[in-house]
Amino acid sequence: MIAVELFAGAGGLSLGLERAGFTIALANEIEPDFAKSYSLNHLSTRVLNCDIHEIDFTRELGKAGLKNTDITLVSGGPPCQGFSTVGSKNKKDPRNSLFFEFLRAVREISPSFVLFENVAGFKSLYNGEAFGTLVKELTELGYACHSILMDAADYGLPQFRKRTILVGCRDFHLPFSFPLATHGNPDLFGIGKRLSLMEAIDDLPDLAAGEECGFYKCSPRNSFQAFMRGSEQVLTEHNASNYGVKMREILSLIPPGGSIGDLPERLRPKNYFGNTYARLLPDQPSPTITRNFGTPSSSRCVHPFQERALSTREGARLQGFPDNYLFFGSKTSKNLQIGNSVPPLLGEVVGKAIARCLRPENQLLAIA
């Protein structure tokens, strides 16, 4: 199973697809730091660090020794902030161009499957015109479209993170179905509880402001920690930003589970959101982390018990990146790459659902 990954970022979705059995032959990412991180972790993938508009996919696959017919999957998600009202199919509008470049890649390569992912609210974006256009265009290209809103916490990630997932199947008769949830409310799913934030990170040592630590606090305490650590002996990217006197005072006054509303008036800015300067809850998955998860004034990202925001390693753990995954660039750039990523876990469970369709018995069923 061979895939082409577009808008690949630091490689979270690709990592998951690789775990599901795919080989990522070609990946495109325009941001240099993101592309470098991708290259460091996906050594066999041909990475194109350029504007997608410049890519001739047939030619680039040829350079990798492949033909279009070799490609099983085209995957990716154009940045949602780039969409305008796409129902008019105004491909010249620069706000629409990335959306239509994704569709151009599908048209040129004609893979067996398409995997499109985007923000939770994508279906309602621009009164549903973006989603409607995506389905219409893929259907006209010969794909049966299946979509779902997936929360990564329902599949074992220690973070509530909802994404719109659409899978297009070129063979309408293949019995594709999305994976069932594996974690959550036993009454709803009949399965185990979700993984909590501290279950994901409590093997990492305490940090004071400005500190960094290169060793683990203890042996893995659960299977998630063991999987994240693998054979790693040296802890990397576990660092806390340094703070001035005022920020240190603010952090010291936030109670467990508290937020800006618990601070004295003198320490509050004139305008603020209610979930800023907020401590994470230790016994449940974290809320969706953002690019600013290392900044206390961002949405809830202060450590449940320590006087700091999350470290880069803690953010990577909550996204499901293993501890040996390398990120290139400054701390700000690394946090941006992590916060913008698709969790590898989502790529893995959806990738396995696609792979099931390709089993010989399902191929025969489709023919019948």
Strand 2-6 and strand 23-28: the pairing is parallel
Reduced to 3 states, what is the DSSP secondary structure of residue 239?
A: strand
Partners of 162 in beta bridges: 151
Sequence-distant (6+) residues with CB within 8 A of 128 are none
- Residue 102 has, within 13 A of its CA and on its CB side, a CA count of 29
Active site residues: 80
Q: Which two tokens stand for residue 166?
A: 């659409």
CB 312 within 8 A of CB 338: yes
CB 4 within 8 A of CB 73: yes
Give start and end residues of each alpha helix (H) in the chain.
12-19, 32-41, 57-63, 97-109, 129-140, 186-189, 197-201, 223-229, 245-253, 312-319, 331-339, 344-357, 360-367
Handedness of CA 94, 95, 96, 101 (dihedral sign): positive
* Location of structure tokens 């696609």: 354
Nearest alpha-carbon partner for 229 in 324, 318, 299, 316: 324
Reduced to 3 states, what is the DSSP secondary structure of residue 129?
A: helix
Backbone angles phi, psi at 167, to 5 degrees: -115, 125
Reduced to 3 states, what is the DSSP secondary structure of residue 221?
A: coil
Neighbours of 325 (CB within 10 A): 21
Integer Rg of the chain from CA: 21
Q: Which two tokens stand for residue 27?
A: 């990946």
Nearest alpha-carbon partner for 291 in 269, 310, 274: 310
Residue 143, H or E segment: none
CB 74 within 8 A of CB 109: yes
